[in-house]
Structure 1
Amino acid sequence: MVKSMTGYGRHVNSYRDTRITIEVRTVNHRFLDLSIKMPKTLLHLEDKMKKLAREYFKRGRIDVFVTIDGTGLVDKNLQVDWNLVDQYMEKINQVKDRYQLTDTVSVKDILQLDDVFFITDQEEEDASFQEILLHTCKKAMKLVAEMRSKEGEAIAYDLGSRTEGIKQIVFKLEQHREKVIEQYRDRIKQRIEEYIKNDLWDQDSRIIQEVALMAEKGDISEEVTRLFSHIDQFLLTLKKEEPIGRRLDFIVQEMHREANTIGSKSNDVNISEWVVELKSEIEKLKEQAQNVE
């Protein structure tokens, strides 16, 4: 099954007075590259989220963004800096003794002292929060996987169509091959007649060697056969129920290699034109195949 490496998913959930938002974005990459951005207090959950991602994705750059809004996970506590209060009281008593003051210090006076009272935020997290967070992450990743599968269907259709187009070009090459061989045969015959006419026929098998070299140079049958084999392998690979992107990349490289060999072997104008067209279509196939997981 063909799957794209491009997708996006977002899911929102709630826990107490906290809003959990998870976004997942995926793009092309040669391997599986996971990146999770979330508050530092949740970093201990990173491995669990990565394990979850590996269940949905086998290849591509996966970016996960976790946003926590609200105060449901925060417990506010009023604290007293007793050391600072002791210092204040000590200094106040010193002032009273120095100037023989009789005023007493009230609670109201203490409340007005700077930095004596302060509020701390203590984040609370329990198993229920972890479960909801991972469930939210799973929902977002599932949306991405569905999008990648849907886009993969369109890619599979395009790859199949382009491959069939390439096959038609290879058919032309195969059908024209006999004509090219005939042309080489005529050229060889002409060269032999020149040797005989100029009394250059000798016993060192030069004619036989030249016949063999010219025949080998013009014969593209092996390359055509391998191209047909690569095309069949490509189409079969599209039907596999597993990640196939790397295998498609390899097959396309082999197609391109055979096309180059045909181009270097033949001096025929028609074959040269078809090779240019063939290489252009293979390049388009390569670009599209790079989107496959």
Structure 2
Amino acid sequence: MFIIEDGSDVLMKSMTGFGRQELQLDEMYIIAEVKTVNHRYLDISFQMPKFLVPLEDRLKKIIQQQVKRGKVSVTINVSGTFTSSKKLTTNWDLVEQYINQFQQIKQTYQLHGEITLDMLGQYPDIFEVEQREESNTDTDTNVLLTLEKAVGNLHAMRLKEGAELGKDLQLRTEIIQNRIKQLGERRKIVIIEYQERIKERINSYLENTSVYDESRLFQEIALLAEKGDITEELTRIHSHVMQFQQLMKETEPIGRRLDFIVQELNRELNTIGSKSNDIWISEHVVSLKSEAERMKEQIQNVE
């Protein structure tokens, strides 16, 4: 959060951030990590033990309270003696296949002897050790609490990064405002220059014609005057910058709207560049477009 000239607070979040939280109890150790990067929409993915899958909706709600846009990667690790148990199981289908195969071998080669447990014991794949992970109410509560704190740490980092973005964007809007003001002052000089050029065109027209066509004369004057006038574009750019600064004061996600405003800003600058034949104005338009492009790059990381 920082203060701009009018004293208003600007609160902006970055879409990039990282939060981590650990919880150590007697029989439980939980680690929750949350990483966010740029994304057009909110996209949440989890990497966690299977027994926590039923908690996914509740975990998402915790994230959605703080994160509105971005790609969110969540990793949760839970360890402890309470979480797992081992169970030995027999693969009866495989045992039956072994016995059938032994019997076929005996019949095919007329062999004697019984199929014994010792023979089957030589094939360990008929036994499986199943690792079972289990959850309980205490586990669920502690996992949710750990993630909530990790998201809180993420939120703090995103606010800090967002404050830096806000400072940079505010500075660039002020640069654009100052240069637009200079363009407005230059416009007055350009108008005088255009007036002189219009007079020259009128004199040239009158000298080279014996028939005075008043409508044609006014058409020439209107064409030249319209071509060089950038008043409307400057007014719209000023309006766009004011809207941009106003949006920066909002607490809701503003990245897409800021991006749209910068697109409109660029369109007005392109129009000024195509209208003006003044070298000074053209150079300043290039500089302004460069500032707008830097703003667009920064905005890609704003929530």
What TM bracket, shorter-length normalisation?
0.7 to 0.9
Contact residue 195 and residue 201 of structure 1 kept, 8 A: no
Q: Does 1:292 align with 2:302?
A: yes
Indicate the SS of the match to 2:82. Answer: coil
Aligned equivalent of 1:51:
61
Determine the structure 1 residue equivalent to 2:223.
213
Q: Partner of 2:253 in structure 1?
A: 243
Written as runs of structure 1 = structure 2, the 5 A alignment for 1:144-223 is: 144-203=154-213, 205-223=215-233
Structure 2 residue 284 is matched with structure 1 residue 274: yes
State the 1:120 CA deviation: 4.2
| Cα offset, 1:31, TM superposition | 1.4
Paired residues, number: 274
Indicate how the Cα distance of structure 1 residues 120 and 212 shifts in structure 2: closer, same or farther if over 3 A, else same: closer
Identical amino acids, percent of aligned pairs = 47
Structure 2: unaligned runs, 5 residues or longer: 1-10, 100-111
Is the deviation greater in 30-39 or in 201-210? 201-210
CA contact (8 A) 2:33 2:150 kept: yes
User: In the alignment, which residue of structure 2 is the partner of 1:73?
Assistant: 83
- Partners in 1 of 2:247 and 2:89 — Cα distance? 66
2:178 aligned partner, one-letter code:
Q
Distance 1:27 1:222 in 2: 39
**Does the C-alpha gap of structure 1 residues 209 and 117 become closer, same or farther in structure 2, counting only changes over 3 Å?**
closer
- Report the Cα distance in structure 2 between the residues aligned to 1:212 and 1:144, rounded to whole angstroms: 59
Is residue 253 of structure 1 aligned with residue 259 of structure 2?
A: no
Contact 2:18 2:34 in 1 (8 A): yes
| C-alpha deviation, 1:16, in angstroms | 5.2
| TM-score when normalising by structure 2 | 0.82
Return the offset for 1:200: 4.5
Distance 1:187 1:213 in 2: 12
Provide the residue aligned with 1:105 in structure 2. none
1: CA distance, partners of 2:280 / 2:15: 38
1:13 aligns with 2:23: yes
Contact 1:170 1:228 in 2 (8 A): yes
TM-score (ref. length: structure 1): 0.85
Q: Structure 1's 195 and 149: CA in aligned 2 closer, same or farther, altered over 3 A?
A: same
Matched, 1:35 2:37: no
Equivalent residue letter for 1:229: S
Q: Unaligned 5+ residue runs, structure 1?
A: 89-97, 100-108
Contact 1:223 1:258 in 2 (8 A): yes
